[in-house]
Amino acid sequence: MVVEPVSVTALSFTEYVMSGQRGRISIVSEQRDVYLGSDPWVCGFYNPVRDAMRRAANSPDPDAELDRAVRSASRNGQLRAFEEVRAGFLPWLKATRATGVPVSATRWSAGELSLRVRPHLGLRMPDGSTAAVLVYLKEREMTQESANVGLRILQRTVADTLPGATPLVLDARRGRAFRMAKRTNLAKLDALIAAEAAGYVVHWRMSA
């Protein structure tokens, strides 16, 4: 029997971890439909606003970039989602006074789960430091505990995506950026990620 490989993005896996025990089978089924579906329309819900955020980081008028994304909203739920992203993201971006820098993509494996990792934003801060940013766009509020999963994945891959950068997970709707606390027990976090990755693979294959 051929065992189906399981490969999703770092953000999809982070969203799985934050979904709670009851929601995990549902979220994996939804993600499976997106990744394996033949209709590219299904997976593009946030693409216009995500692209606008990248452009905004290097634009003399970042507001115009997000306004354009809001005006492009045509699918059910997009308008409110894009407006909330604009309201949270623009003040945060302006406060950082950062500019965009290129990032690269890589892969990182946790057991049988292969994660595709590419920060949504690469930023250079006024002091010259850089940040590799995973952007979370959905309605449910991100927590530090959940963000730590994405942060650790970024931390483990940043040498390939944006060497020397500080990993950040940005809850765009609320304009809140999470970073790894110095007191975080990385050994326990790695064990959690390994266990959750194993669970993801099981849920994925059960959803087939």
Per-residue HEC secondary structure of 46-90 comes to: CHHHHHHHHHHCCCCCHHHHHHHHHHHCCCCCHHHHHHHHHHHHH
Instruction: Residue 61: count other Cβ atoms within 10 Å of its Cβ.
Output: 9
Q: Where are the alpha helices (DSSP H) in the chain?
A: 10-17, 20-36, 47-56, 62-72, 78-96, 144-161, 186-206
Q: Return the structure tokens found at 79.
A: 């308008």
Q: What pLDDT is attached to residue 41?
A: 44
How many percent of the chain have pLDDT more than 70? 92
CA distances from 16 to 19, 28, 151 (A): 5, 7, 15
Residues 6+ apart with CB under 8 A from 142: 18, 136, 169, 171, 174, 176, 178
Of 121 and 208, the structure prediction assigns the larger pLDDT to: 121
Q: Residue 102 pLDDT > 90, yes or no?
A: yes
Half-sphere exposure of 52 (CA within 13 A, CB side): 25
Q: Return the structure tokens found at 36.
A: 């394996």
Interval 5-12 mean pLDDT = 89
Average confidence score pLDDT of the chain: 91
Q: Which helix (H) or strand (E) holds 121?
A: strand 121-124
Q: Residue 179 pLDDT > 60, yes or no?
A: yes
Q: Is 84 left (phi over 0), alpha (psi -120 to 50) or beta?
A: alpha
Q: Which band of pLDDT confidence, cut at 50, 70 and 90, is reported for residue 43?
A: low
Q: Residue 39 pLDDT > 90, yes or no?
A: no
Structure confidence by residue, pLDDT tens digits, 132-166: 999 999 999 999 999 999 999 999 999 999 999 99
Q: Which band of pLDDT confidence, cut at 50, 70 and 90, is reported for residue 194?
A: very high
Please report where in the chains the tokens 């934050």 appear, as a residue.
18
This prediction's pTM: 0.91
Interval 79-103 mean pLDDT = 98
Q: Identify which of 78, 121, 107 has the alpha carbon closest to the alpha carbon of residue 13.
A: 107
Using DSSP's 3-state secondary structure scheme, residue 101 falls into coil
Q: Residue 1 pLDDT > 50, yes or no?
A: no
Q: Identify which of 30, 25, 31 has the alpha carbon closest to the alpha carbon of residue 10.
A: 31
